[in-house]
């Protein structure tokens, strides 16, 4: 880690390997922190309550986790993109004994999170490396859940957006396993439509959890893509998403087919990173 450069009024600042990180104290939660990298909000954690999920897209990912198996049953999870390990902490709290691997490219960011926001869970392994490269080395059928939440700055890199990448995720999943991804887009949602098309090219069942204003192009935001070779619990996922403070809808298999608008699934040769968010979005 490049060293903590400041601490004042609940803010910790540090130069890390791939940018400038800030941990900003939550005024409403004594041990709550928001992680920003180069001004983009990456994670929020509450060390006293790992089941508290501040970001709407993380809450939706947690709904997916909750519906994967009966309560308290451990899961084998692979989290591509670390941030402050919000979802892994949630899984550890709600499903003790889960075996989880977090993959984060920035080793100095990992050191910052370990030192300032420690997670005392023996089942949580943090690996420093490129998400796709580590996924390619995963044992076949070794995971129940693969989550993609990778950002370089405010954009998802192209090499984790292709059909070939999704084929690696599928190979890592056990029978009944689920792939879930945080997809950031706005406007006509061309990037998101391509990501759904890529998922439909690999998985038998695909759903999307999305707020109405994002779906209809009124704001830039997060869509949660969920895919599996087995049927997904779309109806229950829709009920939970509709009951959230920030309500969302769920597009089922038939609706995701229409959502793609004949978008072509991107392969490695034509894959592109996610679009740059407008200024002011995600804390920028």
Q: What is the pLDDT of residues 144-175, one digit of tens each?
A: 999 999 998 789 999 999 999 999 999 999 99
Domain spans in the chain, listed from the N-terminal domain onward: 50-275
**Angle, alpha carbons 42-135-38 (nearest 5°):** 20
Residue 280 has pLDDT above 60, yes or no: yes
**Average pLDDT for residues 168-191, to the nearest whole number?**
98
DSSP state of 3: -
How far apart CA 200 and CA 6 sit, in angstroms, is 46
Superfamily for domain range 50-275: Vaccinia Virus protein VP39 (3.40.50.150)
Which DSSP helix (H) or strand (E) runs through 68? helix 56-68
pTM, 2 dp: 0.95
pLDDT digits (tens, 9 = 90+) for 19-50: 999 999 999 999 999 999 999 999 999 999 99
In this prediction, residue 282 carries a pLDDT of: 67
In this prediction, residue 8 carries a pLDDT of: 41
Residue 94 has pLDDT above 90, yes or no: yes
pLDDT digits (tens, 9 = 90+) for 43-55: 999 999 999 999 9
- Asked whether 238 and 73 are in contact (CB, 8 A), the reply is no
In this prediction, residue 98 carries a pLDDT of: 97
Dihedral sign of CA atoms 276, 34, 118, 145 in order: negative
Of the candidates 157, 161, 143, the one whose C-alpha atom is nearest the C-alpha of residue 228 is 143
- Tell me the average pLDDT of the chain: 94
Question: Which are the catalytic amino acids?
Answer: 149
pLDDT digits (tens, 9 = 90+) for 223-278: 999 999 999 999 999 999 999 999 999 999 999 999 998 899 999 999 999 999 98
In this prediction, residue 1 carries a pLDDT of: 41
Residue 7 has pLDDT above 70, yes or no: no
In this prediction, residue 2 carries a pLDDT of: 45
Residue 283 has pLDDT above 80, yes or no: no
């Amino acid at each position: 880690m490049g060293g903590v450069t400041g601490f004042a009024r609940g803010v910790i600042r540090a130069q890390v390997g791939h940018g400038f990180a800030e941990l900003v104290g939550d005024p409403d939660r004594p041990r709550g922190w928001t992680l920003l990298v180069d001004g983009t909000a990456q994670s929020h954690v509450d060390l006293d309550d790992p089941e508290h999920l501040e970001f709407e897209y993380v809450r939706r990912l947690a709904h997916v986790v909750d519906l994967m198996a009966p309560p308290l049953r451990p899961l084998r999870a692979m989290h591509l993109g670390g941030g402050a390990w919000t979802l892994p902490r949630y899984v550890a709290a709600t499903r003790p004994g889960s075996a989880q691997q977090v993959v984060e490219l920035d080793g100095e960011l990992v050191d910052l999170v370990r030192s300032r926001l420690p997670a005392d869970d023996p089942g949580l392994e943090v690996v420093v490396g490129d998400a796709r490269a580590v996924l390619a080395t995963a044992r076949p059928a070794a995971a129940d859940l693969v989550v993609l939440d990778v950002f370089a700055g405010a954009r998802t890199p192209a090499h984790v957006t292709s059909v070939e990448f999704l084929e690696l995720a599928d190979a890592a999943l056990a029978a009944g396993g689920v792939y879930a991804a945080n997809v950031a887009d706005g406007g006509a949602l061309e990037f998101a439509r391509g990501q759904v098309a890529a998922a439909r090219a690999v998985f038998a069942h695909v759903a999307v959890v999305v707020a109405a204003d994002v779906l209809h192009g009124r704001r830039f935001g997060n869509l949660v893509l969920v895919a599996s070779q087995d049927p997904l619990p779309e109806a229950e996922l829709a009920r939970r998403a509709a009951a959230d403070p920030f309500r969302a809808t769920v597009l089922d298999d038939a609706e995701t087919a229409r959502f793609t608008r004949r978008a072509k699934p991107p392969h490695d040769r034509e894959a592109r990173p996610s679009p740059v968010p407008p200024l002011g979005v995600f804390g920028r």
